[in-house]
Structure 1
């Protein structure tokens, strides 16, 4: 469910419900005082704060203190997933990270934008899904509505505008599959 207001005029009216704006205001107070300045090893503390605001956080997740989560109630992180410093999780719609997902520093997960063909530049939100064991490398940009397949690797500074297939190494702007990802045994 999206809290965006439909058929409004974003030039003169808010794009989000009053409830959404109030929750984000309260979350930002908690973020600034209790989340952002918490010591790096206190992953469970930050996970608990996110859960307090409706995030679904699995066991042993690592969210670093300089990760910015816009709306925690739209975040799902399954077991052993991590979100590095300077990640922007613009969670206007659901952002779902599967098990053992790594989101590297500076990545931007963007689940909302504006419809540039709309007469009123209407805001829209579409969920992002990142499959189990995927790795989104540093400073990548993931567009609204994208699915990253299980085990996929998105190379540094890639711009992902379309779904990425499972177990592929992909990179570029726009991001494209380069080769199959293979995991070597020890």
Structure 2
């Protein structure tokens, strides 16, 4: 979704969005960021107040940076570590029991550098059920990570990754099948 034609002359988002982000920034700094680590339900409540869809048993830690909660859909029992950043200019969907490790950057916005106005546009990101994004990954706009995939530390994911594969690298690529032991 393109949000503006000329990012040098125009605001990329409407005034209502910008006002809501200011309000979110204030609430984030005062009530979210410095909340006690075990208060996951409290942070889920705050996210819901700002339009996020948050499943049961979700663990969003206080040091997670979130650009726009109303663009988030968090599945049951997913976990997002402190230091992760959800740059949710577009929709981010995180599945059941998915894990987003510290330092990971999930980025839905980019610019079209082939056009004179360098317009901003967004593409949604989908992170499937039981995915693990290890520390300091970068997830590009428009990427879908299939169910059960593991993305290795510091990987740069520029295209969709298949389900139940261990993937890593810069650029990220599938390396081997993810096999789960029976418990």
Post-superposition Cα deviations, 1:98-146, rounded to whole Å, max 9, x if no partner, equal 1000000000000001011111111000000011000000000000000
TM-score (norm: length of structure 1): 0.97
Offset at residue 6 of structure 1 (A): 3.0
- Structure 1: runs of 5 or more not aligned: none
In structure 1, the residue matched to 2:3 is: 5
In structure 2, the residue matched to 1:179 is: 176
Post-superposition Cα deviations, 1:24-66, rounded to whole Å, max 9, x if no partner, equal 0000000000000000000000000000000000000000000
Greater relative contact order structure (CA < 8 Å, 6+ sep) = 2
In structure 2, the residue matched to 1:103 is: 100
Paired residue secondary structure (2:126) = strand
- Structure 2: runs of 5 or more not aligned: none
Equivalenced residue count is 183
In structure 1, the residue matched to 2:162 is: 165
Offset at residue 23 of structure 1 (A): 0.4
Cα RMSD after superposing both structures: 0.9
Say if 2:3 and 2:121, in contact at 8 Å, map to a contact too: no
In structure 1, the residue matched to 2:56 is: 59
